[in-house]
Chains A and B, each alone.
Chain A
Amino acid sequence: MPTYLYGPNAALDFDSGLPLQDTWGTIYAPSDNYFTAPLTPISMIGLPMDRVNVRNGVTESFKLEGYPTVMWKSADVDNPIVISLDAQGGDVPPGGTSGQVLTKNSEADFDTEWRAVTEYTTADTWEQVRVIVMADGTVKGIPVWAEPPVAPAKPGATPGSTLIWLSWTAVPEGRTYKLFRNGQQIYAGASLAYVDRDVQNGASYQYVVIAYDQFGQRSPESPLAVAAADASLNVAPKVQVTTWPAVLPSTGRGIIRVCASDAEGQEMLLTLSISGGTITATRDPSVWIYQA
């Protein structure tokens, strides 16, 4: 017997910290055999229900080809989500085919509103699936054993001039991380480092990191790190003058480059002067044409 998940408030932004609605969560089966299960979120990290272990009806024929990383996203936050966990085989609601997501709550809509699940990854053979609803309303089926990551350690926050270098340590099962400055997300990705350039010298900033596992489950926040950019920490650029050819020609023309780098990655103004010969600027701000 296939099973369907019904979440009327699935599109709530859990990351916003808003409490979930009491009415959250109904699981019902086809053939009009509705039943309701109270679903209580275990935390405010995008897990809206507590271990909803949905056993598929026909074990052998049910094989999710990986976890659906994005099964469906509601375009209308007021619309509920209904998701079929019966990816292959088994009973299928009227009008639908297996491996599809229903977008309406009404039974009547079952006939017409099925949409294909389009994204799968590597093959898997889970027999038990935990259903989670992401902060953006996306519904996923993930292995029941997948626990959310633990909180990352306090990130390193090293101030410089006009920037703050941030780094953090990977946590087990952590695949991606989000970095927040004063509560606003400023980075999302797999890197363990980030340079925050959107800072003012003299101002203090607070940073936390949140880890996400491969299924998008969120960890608690890391401890807070605080840093203040400081103009006195400014590092001078490095510069080197090079030529091509290595020895400038007596006749013909040569290339002179002002090769500069800056540990803070700041934009630099490059200039060149010469004694002996003439130079002509080019559209490349680091290149001049030399003629003896």
Chain B
Amino acid sequence: MATYNANGTARDPLAVAATASKAGTTSGTTNHVIRRSAWQNRSSLSSMQFNDNTLGPVFKNEGTGNEFGVEFSTEIAVRITGARVYKAPLAAGATYVTLWSIAGVKLGEIAGTWVSDAGGWRTLEFATPVAIAANTKYIISYYAAGGFWAQNDWVYNGMDFIEYPFHIGRYEEGAEGKSGASRVGGGVESGHIFPEIILPHNYYIDPIAEWDYSLPAAGPGYMNQFPNGQSSFQFPVGVFYPDPPFIEDYMSIGVNTMCGVPITGPGYREAILAAGCDVWGAADGETTVPEMVQSDAELAAHVKGYFLWDEPDMVHNYGSPDQLWTSLQEIRRVDSSRPIILNLGKWSSRSISYQWAPVGATVNQMNENWMAYGEIADIMSLDDYCITDTRMGIWAYPKMVGKLQQMSNGRLPIWSYIETCPVEGSDPTPVQVERCAWACLIAGAQGIIFFDHRFASAQYTQDFASLLHTPAMRAGVQALCAQIQSVAPALNAAHQDLVTSVDSSNTTAGPMGGTFGVPIHWTGRSVGSTRYVFVQAIRPGSTTATFTVPQAAGKSLTVLGEARTITANSSGVFVDTFSDDYEYHLYRWTV
């Protein structure tokens, strides 16, 4: 422990200064381990899979066992803990996950045994993680027991695959031979050997890395850093860029935060004051907004932060990280008492794009931008409207949260955008909006923003307050807002590993995003002596899930909003059903 006394000074242009200090004694540590696989936060497994009709792996069987791997490097020195492997249903027998040097030296290995089952992602980790050097090529492979494996062709042919800190080079054939991408053993009956043959295909082996990180992670109390930035409401539920005539109506149904608002524009000030809502003002790269906020005490009470830039990673609104830094600096020099949020476009979540910026940028360059964006703001969000997209769905939204956490190394709170009107091919129902919101909240979102701009099309008239004018959506969103506020203390609490295991009975539903079955995602929260576990089926389909929650042993759990209770046995085990796509349950009990 050590004492500190931090003295801050703010000096205006007339050299009038104010000072403040904060003294204390150090305690604890912010060191923590970041753990990540190459694919876990990517909502599209590859450009190939997004662009063709292959929504999951193809299962192959060409004889007895063989070795399948992938060559990769990492931008920083990390420890490889093992890998996720997509097990083919019929794969059975001994298997191994092995980390190799590029020269074929075994650096780590873990053995396992598979049985014939429904297949799916399996994690095999080394007894001791293996440290690897930065920017050095390695190969991680697995032995496909029985010769059954999962594959998608040509995935690595088009471009590099980059998910920080992983880098998988694209397949190339040059004068010196083939390079990059996936590795296969010597032949279909070659067994568990160093995979030397270079191919462009994806064999569904996903390396897992961990590394130490010393900046503090986001968590409860994060917003207390900003004296004028704390929400007036228990939980921010907002709408993007509403027009002034609708602000009061949004507020009346519980949409409490107006995000990306051009508050210097006609009618906004009066509409904001009349509604009593919170506002995140669109800075638009100028100081006029923070200047206005600072010098207008009545308005300032409602402004909780600034909206730095909308989709700087997309062609139509491109902003380089340097440009964003400049914009942020201009705001901070006028007002550093409020946080700044940055919203990215859809492609960052998919790590693919034909619309990324600047024009002509490669995925490698763009990945650097995405990671750089993650260092700039105080809160991040992205908008990828795909609730009813045929290749995507609600399951992608938790991955978006994860991807933003990845970009910021867990340093920033994440807000989620959800469409409440037809947009970009998605046209959700009120129930889908509700379930999408819970998908985001369970994944850790600390704010929800609705996108409600219905653009004119052959099918629809333009309406920039669509949900307000669509009775079913309006009622659904109003109920959702009330529901979120009713459990806001839990949503604002830190995630706790209250669930020690969960099994889903449905392992056979159709492929979606490379995952078979209907997995369950969940979060646990504690507020005083009250415990919450929020769970959701995070692929379409029905299933029955068995949960083990030790702290619920022998307890009667209230299932919020469903007028029922469920009792956990003396080991904390209970079973519940999910009869509809993306159904969720909210459990509450007292310890």
Chain A residues with a Cβ under 8 A of chain B: 160-163, 165, 176, 189-193, 195, 197, 231, 234-277, 279, 283-286, 289-290, 292
Contacts and interface: CB of A to CB of B under 8 A. Distances in A.
B76 interface: no
Contacts of A231: 14
B9 A242 contact: no
Nearest to A274: B6
A268 B269 contact: no
Nearest to B269: A191
Nearest to A269: B11
Contacts of A258: 8-10, 20, 336
A270 B10 contact: yes
Nearest to B226: A259
Interface in B346-385: none
A275 B222 CA distance: 24
Contact of B216 (A252, A277, A283): A252
Contacts of B26: 247-250, 276-277, 292
Interface in B1-47: 1-14, 16-22, 24-32
Nearest to A242: B225
B306 to A, nearest CB: 13
B265 interface: yes
A241 B21 contact: yes
Contacts of B228: 259, 261
Contacts of B8: 239-241, 256, 258-260, 270-272
Interface residues of B, number: 67
22 contacts: A163-B295, A234-B12, A237-B11, A242-B225, A242-B226, A245-B216, A246-B221, A246-B224, A247-B24, A252-B214, A253-B30, A257-B336, A259-B225, A262-B10, A264-B12, A265-B291, A265-B294, A267-B333, A268-B11, A270-B332, A283-B325, A285-B332
Contacts of B287: 267
Nearest to A250: B26
A261 B18 CA distance: 10
A121 B333 CA distance: 42
B225 A290 contact: no
A289 B216 CA distance: 10
A284 B269 contact: no
B292 interface: yes
A242 B22 contact: yes
A274 B290 contact: no
Contacts of A256: 6, 8, 22
A252 B30 contact: yes
B270 interface: yes
Nearest to B300: A261
Contact of B16 (A234, A276, A279): A234
B332 A284 contact: yes
A94 B516 CA distance: 67
A197 B286 CA distance: 14
